[in-house]
């Protein structure tokens, strides 16, 4: 179980799903509204079913998860174009959340869009993942399952990190194995250091780089020492979150332009505003100063809402 000390968590989840799950309670949607109408859309329905089966029925860890411990997550595979026969270009939206103790609130752990998803798919072909043969016999086909497996491990790792200090390392290493053995091809990108500064390589690198170990402390402090304490110790919890944000600010000054900073803050503006709006004047001022610096895109919102 991912955290015994958390007690009996909420049975409320983001989505209800009829599949028998292992660690993940996932919903995968394949959207093909941009694809030419001459293409038989039934193929995408089949793909959606197979991806749901992969994510929900495969056992990703050696642990035992009770129903209320399963990690709620969603994936939207947005097919953008057909590159060649059976070859598709897409983006993938990944979201995951975990329950906050003593509330019905689900706090996001992942809220990210991966723009570099290209793959080959022939209807009814097996959609399976083998961590010992990440590249498979057909790199273009294997790329899709490698990407989904990568994010499964990242979601699990971040979830574990939020419940215990550095608890997700095992799963970040599993994701690293996928990065190191990723499929290669002319249309495949996002796995390599030179594919840009915001991709699967860099996200994983930031989470396994020992130089950035403080990130794991920040994740734990934000969720476990912060959000989980809001019901019983609201003032202390808010101060713990403020301290975590101050650590994130210091991290950013020492390690500018890392992907993990943007990844951690993605989609958290509303949550952070809600947390500090009820705080003391001092807490609001400190939060506004820190957040305006590290989350520049939402700086005006913080100044307006927390002044």
The pLDDT score that the predictor gives to residue 8 is 34
Element housing 201 (H / E): helix 200-208
Copy the structure tokens of residue 239. 């101060």
Residues 68 and 54 reside in one and the same domain: yes
Asked if residue 166 and residue 31 are part of one domain, the reply reads yes
Q: Which domain holds residue 148?
A: 4-208
| 141: number of Cβ within 10 Å | 20
Same domain, 196 and 287: no
Looking at residue 2, its pLDDT comes to 54
Looking at 177, 208, 239, which one is the last position of a domain? 208
CA distances from 38 to 30, 42, 238 (A): 17, 12, 55
Q: How confident is the model at residue 5 (pLDDT cuts 50, 70, 90)?
A: very low
Question: pLDDT per residue over 99-128, tens digit each?
Answer: 999 999 999 999 999 999 999 999 999 999
Q: Tell me, yes or no, whether 133 and 277 share the same domain.
A: no
Q: Which of 68, 29, 70 is nearest to 52 (CA)?
A: 29
Contact in structure between 72 and 106 (CB atoms under 8 Å): yes
76 and 198 together in one domain: yes
Tell me what the mean pLDDT of segment 198-220 comes to.
98
User: Mean pLDDT for the chain?
Assistant: 91
Lay out the sheet containing 71-84: strands in order across. 24-31, 71-84, 87-99, 106-120
For residues 170-178, average pLDDT: 98
Same domain, 275 and 151: no
Q: Where are the alpha helices (DSSP H) in 69-191?
A: 139-163, 169-180
| pLDDT at site 20 | 39
Q: 208, 241, 271 — which closes off a domain? A: 208
pLDDT tens for 25-44 read 999 999 999 887 677 889 99
Q: What is the pLDDT of residues 40-69, one digit of tens each?
A: 889 999 999 999 999 999 999 988 888 888
Question: Hey, what are 138's tokens?
Answer: 């057909």
In the numeric block, which tokens belong to residue 266?
């993605």
pLDDT for residue 41: 87
Alpha carbon distance 26, 46 (integer Å): 17
Q: How many domains does the chain have?
A: 2
pLDDT exceeding 90 applies to what percent of the chain?
A: 85
Q: Residue 20 burial (CB < 10 Å; 0-12/13-18/19+)? A: exposed
One domain, residues 244 and 95: no
209 has a pLDDT exceeding 90: yes
Judgement on whether residues 220 and 193 belong to the same structural domain of the protein = no
83 backbone dihedrals φ, ψ, rounded to 5°:
-75, -40
Which of residues 208, 233, 266 is at a domain's end?
A: 208
pLDDT tens for each residue of 274-288: 999 999 999 999 999
């Amino acid at each position: 179980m991912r955290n015994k000390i958390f007690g009996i968590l909420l049975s409320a989840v983001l989505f209800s799903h009829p599949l028998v799950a292992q660690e993940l309670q996932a919903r995968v949607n394949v959207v093909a509204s941009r694809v030419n109408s001459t293409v038989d859309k039934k193929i995408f329905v089949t793909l959606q079913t197979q991806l749901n089966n992969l994510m929900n029925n495969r056992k990703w860890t050696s642990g035992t998860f009770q129903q209320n411990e399963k990690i709620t997550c969603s994936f939207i595979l947005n097919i953008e174009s057909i590159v060649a026969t059976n070859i598709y270009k897409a983006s993938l939206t990944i979201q995951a959340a975990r329950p906050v103790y003593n509330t019905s609130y689900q706090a996001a752990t992942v809220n990210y869009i991966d723009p570099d998803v290209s793959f080959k798919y022939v209807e009814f072909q097996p959609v399976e993942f083998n961590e010992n043969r990440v590249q498979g016999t057909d790199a273009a086909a294997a790329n899709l399952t490698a990407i989904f497996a990568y994010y499964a491990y990242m979601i699990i790792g971040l979830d574990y990190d939020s419940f215990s200090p550095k608890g997700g390392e095992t799963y970040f290493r599993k994701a690293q194995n996928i990065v190191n053995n990723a499929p290669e091809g002319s249309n495949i990108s996002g796995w390599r250091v030179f594919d840009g500064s915001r991709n699967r390589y860099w996200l994983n690198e930031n989470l396994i780089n020992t130089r950035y170990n403080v990130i794991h402390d920040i994740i734990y402090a934000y969720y476990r020492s912060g959000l989980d304490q809001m019901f019983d110790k609201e003032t202390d919890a808010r101060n713990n979150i403020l301290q975590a944000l101050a650590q994130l600010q210091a991290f950013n000054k020492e390690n500018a332009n890392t992907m993990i900073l943007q990844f951690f803050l993605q989609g958290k503006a509303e949550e952070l505003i809600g947390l500090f709006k009820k705080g003391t004047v001092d807490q609001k001022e400190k939060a506004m100063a820190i957040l305006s610096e590290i989350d520049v895109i939402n700086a005006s919102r913080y100044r307006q809402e927390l002044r």
